[in-house]
Amino acid sequence: MRVIIEPSAEHGSQRAAAIVAQLIRKKPRAILGLATGGTPLKLYQELIRMHQSEGLDFSRITSFNLDEYVGLPPTHPQSYRHFMTENLFRHINIDIRNTHVPDGRALDYETYGSQYETMIDEAGGIDFQILGIGRDGHIAFNEPGSSLGSRTRLKTLAPETIRDNARFFGTAEDVPRLAITMGVGTILESKKCILLAFGKEKAEAIAATVEGPVTAQVTGSALQFHRDVVVILDEESASQLQRRSYYDEVEEAHRRLQSGEVK
């Protein structure tokens, strides 16, 4: 893992957007894996700015979202399809036919999960997967105890996740108890991952993910097996890392290399 620590969530999101934009410019037909929630909002805002001000072109991009609540129609204000439309898709020139969000109203979730996996494979696999992380260290809706080899499937949400997401619904009772989610194994097959975490409430999860043992109880820790992961943090979310000085040294080495100081 490459760990980048920025002064704030805004700086971290700008850094992440620059990495995504670099990929899009290099590979205009890239396949993006997208996340929802509060963490990637500033990243999406910066990508929108790049599109509107710098001409960043999404017209040939294909996207696959990580997950969706079961039972919510796409028009529901808390559905992830609605989230993506309002916070990214309608502000850029992506072809909406090339955007994929799991169907929370599928009748046969086992079959649908296999179909979603097939769609990803037929598109060529995910080039760049954007991830957030839960306070208990879960990625997508792969709650603690999920198989590290899991595929897209139905998942029951943990009580901690329901409590955390209650702020979006008004009350915990209104939060759906089930979701369809890409599996940990699906995520690990992406060519590159970028994990974003901001705020002190994510510090424990980040320490466990980056420096702890690989365990199904912290599904984010499986990213230690991934070949190319960039973790972008702010100072608060990085506050429990034990090897902070080394991560800073690595970034300084990257800076010197890119500036030509090291040849």
Task: List, by residue number, the catalytic residues.
Answer: 67, 136, 138, 143
Asked if residue 69 lies in contact with residue 26, where contact means CB atoms within 8 angstroms, the answer is no
How would you classify the pairing of strands 178-181 and 153-156?
antiparallel
Backbone angles phi, psi at 232, to 5 degrees: -115, 125
Q: 99: left (phi > 0), else alpha (psi -120 to 50), else beta?
A: beta
The two structure tokens encoding residue 237: 């979310």
Q: 69: left (phi > 0), else alpha (psi -120 to 50), else beta?
A: beta
Q: Nearest to residue 192, comparing CAs of 230, 228, 223?
A: 228
CA–CA distance, 263 with 260 (Å, rounded to integer): 6
CA–CA distance, 239 with 170 (Å, rounded to integer): 30
How would you classify the pairing of strands 2-6 and 229-234?
parallel
The two structure tokens encoding residue 50: 């790049």
CA–CA distance, 39 with 149 (Å, rounded to integer): 25
CA–CA distance, 23 with 31 (Å, rounded to integer): 10
Contact residues for 201 (Cβ-Cβ < 8 A; gap 6+): 135
Question: What's the length of the chain?
Answer: 263
Coil vs helix vs strand at 262: coil
